[in-house]
Each structure stands twice: as C-alpha cells, then as structure tokens.
Amino acid sequence: MIALPAGYQLAAYDTIGSTNDEALRLAEAGAPAGTVVWAKAQSGGRGRSGRGWASPPGNAYFSLLLRPAVPAAEAASLSFLAAVAVAEAFEALLAPGKAVACKWPNDVLIDARKAVGILLQSRLGTSGIVEALVVGIGTNVATRPEGTEWPATSLSAEGYAGGVEAVVAAEVAALDRWLGRWRAEGFAPVRAAWLARAHALGRRIRARTGSHELHGTFEGLDAAGALLLAGDDGKRHVITAGEVFPVG
C-alpha cells in the first residue's frame, strides 16, 4: 500500500476510467481535501486540451483532491506547484546527474524528455471561489508512449528500479510540502523553485497559442505564471495559455 502524509486518505482501484473523474465525483459527494484516488490502470486517461493519455499497468496514475477556497486566478498557480513537487520527487528518486526540468506550463522533463502529465480540474462555487480542485498526475514509470510530439521517457529508462507505490508516495509527500509553503507564503516561492528548474530559460523557443505560433526568447514568468517572451517581432508577449517547443 502507499504511505501518505497525515490527514490524507487513499481510494485505490485496479482499473478506472479516469482518476480525475472519480476524484471530482468524490468531491461532489463531500470527500475531504487530501483524498488521493490511485489506479493501477486507466481506460479513459486524459491530458491537456482533451488529448488521451495512454494508461497501461506499470505506470503511476493518481489524482489529489484539494479544497483551496481561493479565487480561480489564485488556484491556477497550483499547476506550477504540482510541476515543482513532481520535479522534487524525481530528484529524490533518481540517481544524481539526471537533469530534471520544468517545461512551461506544467510538464516535467528528465534530460529533456517528458516523463509526466499533469491535469488540473476545478469546481467553482457561486461566488467564484474554487470549492474543489483536482490535481491529476500520470507518471511514466515502467513504460513510455511512442510517437509523441515531445520525446518521452520513463523513470525506469532513467535508472529507477523501485515500484509505482514509491513514486506515488514521493509525489504526494512533495505536494504536501509545497502546499504548506503555498498556503503560508503564496506563489512567490513556487515561482522561484519553478524558474530554478526552467527548461529553455533564456533560449529561443516557439510558443503555440491556439492556431498561432510565436518565436522568441523565453525571458521568464510574470507574477501570475504567464510566460514572458521577447518576440522575434520586436514585441514582448505575455502568454497565459499554450505550449512551448525549442527552435532549431
């Protein structure tokens, strides 16, 4: 079984459609913050923008239910928090020398290859306050998908020899630590930790926003987590949603 921090509860399944969907269902039924929905496999896993997330046995799939009681704009920073927590967990699980990085907005890379998918979903109350927020994390432990737009890897391919349960435990423990800092100090320490691991910071990238692409230099994040791009068009762009890729 999975060792969780004090105050957390585990709902474990062999196979489920989506851990995020189940966590949202449990939230609507009154489940408390700290509920962790874990499945050995998913039949309907999802990534960002509604894309499917292959979820065979041997990898780690879980969703953490939070009840942040903050406005949606503030809750959005939890996406960066999740990436920092996963990166910190990877650094503890892998041998020294592996380059763990955060790619905007919330991907985590090992030696420039993607190892995890993070998907946040929320439910708002009538006052615009986030009453329930689910952090879904899918980590490639034993296997990795082929033919992806961004090269993928798995923890086992990077030298990890432990089990799925230890990965989930390490990630939840790191989430718990960073949630404590976020509640006490806000987004600033999360932003600093993310930037310390930022992939392609100071380098040229292309940013895809919907059907448009912008090229320029990745300058950093603003105080809310938007990407700052010094564009090749001579303008400074503030990008709030999209994906980034290297140039060349």
- Per the CB < 8 A criterion, the answer to whether 110 and 99 are in contact is yes
Please report the beta strands in the chain, taking only residues with DSSP state E, as ranges in sequence order. Answer: 9-16, 35-42, 60-66, 100-103, 107-110, 113-124, 130-139, 204-209, 212-221, 227-231, 236-239, 243-246
Centre a 10 Å sphere on the Cβ of residue 164 and count the other Cβ atoms it contains.
20
**Residues 210-229: what's their mean pLDDT?**
94
204-246 placed in CATH 3.40.1710.10: no
State the pTM of this model.
0.94
Domain boundaries, the chain: 9-196, 204-246
What is the sign of the dihedral through the CA atoms of 164, 169, 171 and 172?
A: positive
Q: 105: cis peptide before it, omega within 30°?
A: yes
- The chain-wide mean pLDDT, for the chain, equals 93
Cα(240)–Cα(105) distance, integer angstroms = 9
9-196 placed in CATH 1.10.10.10: no
Per-residue pLDDT tens digits for 53-109:
567 899 999 999 999 999 999 999 999 999 999 999 999 999 999 999 999 999 999
- In terms of Cβ atoms closer than 10 Å to its own Cβ (0-12, 13-18, 19+), residue 27 is buried
